[in-house]
Amino acid sequence: MTLNFTSKAYQNMQFKIILVATTLAMSASFAKAIDGEFWCNSSASNCALPGVGGTYYCGESQGASHYMTAKGHKYWKTLVSWSEFVSCCQNAGLKACSG
């Protein structure tokens, strides 16, 4: 069996593949950012600011924006994924907090 690269069926399949790939790429680029205040905390029972070590890395690693350090408080204003931030804080032995 040989492939006929000029056949209508082959061209239709190419179009569908390109359409699906483009749709997936556009969906990923329009991911909704999450606004608030997000930080890692060393206390399992308390989520008081300031954030501790791990806060910067956990936001930076996922492409978060607006890192704040005012008055000694360390937190992110915009995250890409809350669940990724939580996992990162937990992997560092910290608690993820939001406010």
Q: Distance between CA atoms of 45 and 73, rounded to whole angstroms?
A: 18
Q: How many domains does the chain have?
A: 1
Domain that holds residue 68: 34-98
Phi/psi of residue 31, nearest 5 degrees: -60, 135
pLDDT at residue 21 is higher than 90: no
What band does 84 get if pLDDT is binned at 50, 70 and 90? Answer: very high
pLDDT at residue 43 in the model: 75
Please list, residue by residue across 66-93, b when 16 or more beta carbons sit within 10 angstroms of its beta carbon and e when fewer do: eeeeeeeebbbbbbbbeebbbebbeebe
Q: Tell me if 58 is assigned to some domain.
A: yes
Tokens coding 35 = 């606004």
* The overall pTM is greater than 0.75: no
